Amino acid sequence: MMTTLQFPHTLVRFGMDGILRRAGYAVLGYSGGADSTCLLVLLSAWCRENGVTLAAAHVHHGIRGEEADRDEAFCRRMCAERGIPLFVTHADVPQLAAERGLSIEECARGVRYAFFDEVAAEIAGSSPGAVIVTAHNATDQVETVLANLFRGSGTRGLGGIPPVRDGRILRPLIGDSSEAVRAWCREHGIPFVEDGTNAVADCTRNALRLSVLPAIRTIYPSPEEAVLRMSELARRDDETLEALARAEITDNGIARDRFASLDPAIASRVLRLLAAEAGGSVPEEGHVRTVLTLAREEGARRVSLPGGVECRIGRDRVTVAAPSDEKTFPPFRYPEDGDRFENTLGAVTFRLGMPPGGDSVAIPAEADEDEENIYKKSISVSLNFDKMKDALQIRARENGDVIRFGGMTRRVKTLFSDRKIPADLRSLVPILSDGDGIVWIPGFPPRDGARWDGSGTPLTVLFQSRQSF
């Protein structure tokens, strides 16, 4: 009997089909493994039938040597055979992880999603934007929920991997087990590559996959079905509690007496939402208890929270913000103030009329030897200077800052938090803006419609940073 996948039902059940049709463009994160290759085949057929433009994005993480080179070659061949454009980037994830103080897995995930965003912005052009599709399956969901469970997670962690995140990241295989996906590939003669590191129990996910799940299957043969039901219920509960918490917040804070009276289930979410808005990390349960206790006592207090932010318990309100001694810098106007801006984080150089040189360009010729050695990261973008409104300005981030790329309006605080940019650097990152708002933030795609497309006057903007982030 041939294996039947839940893919078409999952598309409809979670509204992914409508999201894809409205977007008109999709980027598939493609590794070459069984899951993403299965999805490449299924999704390419669905997109052709429904008039959706599909592209694939592959990240070479700089980890597995020749095996990673083999994977890239395989992905190129599979996409070429199907007429699917493939975008590839190379990254030295071990080095980036060490510089950013992250685990290899966490850093690799950040690199992947940043690249997916860039590809989405590139293929969608001036359209409403492309969605991102990943090949997470039901077995991945079980592993994620188990890991969160043993870390002591609440309902958010038990909700696991959301089938749809932020209305633009889709997981159409979330209802299909890894075993079913592999069986489907074998039955249909679909080749795929194997990641040799998956057979080594050197991280939490691999240990769960190789040791814990086989033991669970001796008692419950299909844990995926039960976990999928449970995670959906947990997500529903968490979304309800989140909405209640969000309704308590006004003007980036909450009345102190109101916060002190909240049930801890709501108070913890209020504090987490305020911390995220300020660019911090997720507060732990101990932080919640401390802030609640102090809010119920007399006097003004401050509590340090993860991610370099602090909770300020004032006479009337509870707020979360970056420390008050956070450094910033005065604005710089181009071309009135010259073609080079510099602060303690790095430098920005403007080159009007210079055609694009790719995502990474050399340090300008006039930089001396000592100057060249201080920079750890260089990023450039080519903009259409004729489309800029009024004067260009480099400034520090401001409350409420947003930028639109990939057809989506993003909060700068959220972008910095997701990229895990250290809190003490966030107000030093140079933000390029014009009369219509933010044009470009180093490390992210430029505003929709701002990139130079071969017409008009090109303006190359180079950012060189003294620190990697």
**Which of 297, 321, 345 is the endpoint of a domain?**
321
- pLDDT tens for 144-162 read 999 999 888 888 899 999 9
Q: Which residue has the higher pLDDT, 215 or 361?
A: 215
**Which of 321, 341, 372 is the endpoint of a domain?**
321
Q: Which of 105-119, 225-239, 356-370 has the lowest average pLDDT?
A: 356-370
Q: Which residue has the higher pLDDT, 373 or 21?
A: 21
Query: By three-state DSSP, how is residue 390 classified?
Result: coil
| Cβ burial 49-86 (10 Å sphere, 16+ → b, else e) | eeebbbbbbbbbbbbeeeebeebbebbeebbeeeebeb
Rounded distance between C-alpha atoms, residue 232 and residue 163, angstroms: 9
In a domain, 235, yes or no: no
For residue 315, the model assigns a pLDDT of 85
Query: Total structural domains in the chain?
Result: 3
List, in sequence order, every residue forming a beta bridge with 266; answer none if it has no partner. Answer: none
Average pLDDT over residues 168-178: 95
Q: Which residue has the higher pLDDT, 419 or 294?
A: 294
pTM across the whole model: 0.70
Q: Are strands 332-334 and 340-342 parallel, antiparallel or unpaired?
A: unpaired
| Whether residue 94 is found in the same domain as residue 65 | yes
Q: How far is CA 92 from its chain centroid?
A: 18
Task: Give the CATH number, domain containing residue 133.
Answer: 3.40.50.620
Q: Which residue has the higher pLDDT, 274 or 206?
A: 274
- pLDDT tens for 364-418 read 333 343 444 455 678 889 999 999 988 899 999 887 889 998 888 888 988 888 8
- pLDDT tens for 425-467 read 888 899 999 999 999 999 899 999 999 888 889 999 999 987 7
Contact 318, 422 (CB under 8 A): no
**Max intra-chain CA distance, the chain:** 72
Count helices and strands (H / E) in the chain.
17, 20
| Whether residue 108 is found in the same domain as residue 13 | yes
Rounded distance between C-alpha atoms, residue 252 and residue 149, angstroms: 31
Rounded distance between C-alpha atoms, residue 22 and residue 442, angstroms: 29
Task: Tell me what percent of the residues of the chain surpass a pLDDT of 90.
Answer: 53
Query: What is the secondary structure of 323-336 as a DSSP string?
Result: -TT------EEETT
In a domain, 456, yes or no: yes
Q: What is the mean pLDDT of the chain?
A: 87
In a domain, 233, yes or no: no
Is 90 exceeded by the pLDDT of residue 211?
no
The amino acid sitting at 354 is M
Average pLDDT over residues 191-201: 77
Q: Which residues contact 189 (CB under 8 A, 6 or more apart)?
A: none
| Whether residue 191 is found in the same domain as residue 83 | yes
Query: By three-state DSSP, how is residue 440 classified?
Result: strand
Rounded distance between C-alpha atoms, residue 301 and residue 422, angstroms: 24
For residue 200, the model assigns a pLDDT of 62
CB atoms within 10 A of CB 304: 13
Average pLDDT over residues 313-328: 77
| Whether residue 256 is found in the same domain as residue 392 | no
* Distant-in-sequence contacts of 182-190, Cβ < 8 A, 24+ apart: 182/34, 183/3, 184/3, 184/5, 184/38, 185/34, 185/37, 185/38, 187/2, 187/3, 188/41, 190/37, 190/38, 190/41
Q: Is 301 exposed, middle or buried (0-12, 13-18, 19+ CB in 10 A)?
A: middle
Q: Which residue has the higher pLDDT, 358 or 131?
A: 131
Which of 422, 348, 419, 379 lies closest to 106 in space, CA to CA? 419
| Whether residue 288 is found in the same domain as residue 209 | no
For residue 369, the model assigns a pLDDT of 38
Average pLDDT over residues 35-54: 96
Query: By three-state DSSP, how is residue 450 classified?
Result: coil
Q: Which residue has the higher pLDDT, 205 or 110?
A: 110
Q: Which residue has the higher pLDDT, 358 or 156?
A: 156
Contact 430, 341 (CB under 8 A): yes
The amino acid sitting at 117 is D
Task: Give the CATH number, domain containing residue 257.
Answer: 3.30.465
| Whether residue 259 is found in the same domain as residue 374 | no
| Whether residue 123 is found in the same domain as residue 217 | yes
**Which of 321, 345, 361 is the endpoint of a domain?**
321
Is 90 exceeded by the pLDDT of residue 126?
no
| Whether residue 259 is found in the same domain as residue 130 | no
| Whether residue 271 is found in the same domain as residue 308 | yes
List, in sequence order, every residue forming a beta bridge with 434; answer none if it has no partner. Answer: 437
| Whether residue 78 is found in the same domain as residue 204 | yes
Contact 440, 446 (CB under 8 A): yes
| Whether residue 56 is found in the same domain as residue 194 | yes
For 435, phi then psi, to 5°, come to: -65, -15
Q: State which of 95-109, 116-130, 190-204, 248-262 shows the largest mean pLDDT.
A: 248-262
Return the structure tokens found at 468.
């990697």
List, in sequence order, every residue forming a beta bridge with 22; answer none if it has no partner. Answer: none
For residue 127, the model assigns a pLDDT of 57
Structural domain for 275, as ranges? 249-321
- Binned at pLDDT 50, 70 and 90, residue 201 comes out as low
For residue 128, the model assigns a pLDDT of 61
Between the two ends of the chain, the Cα-to-Cα distance in Å is 51
| Whether residue 304 is found in the same domain as residue 336 | no
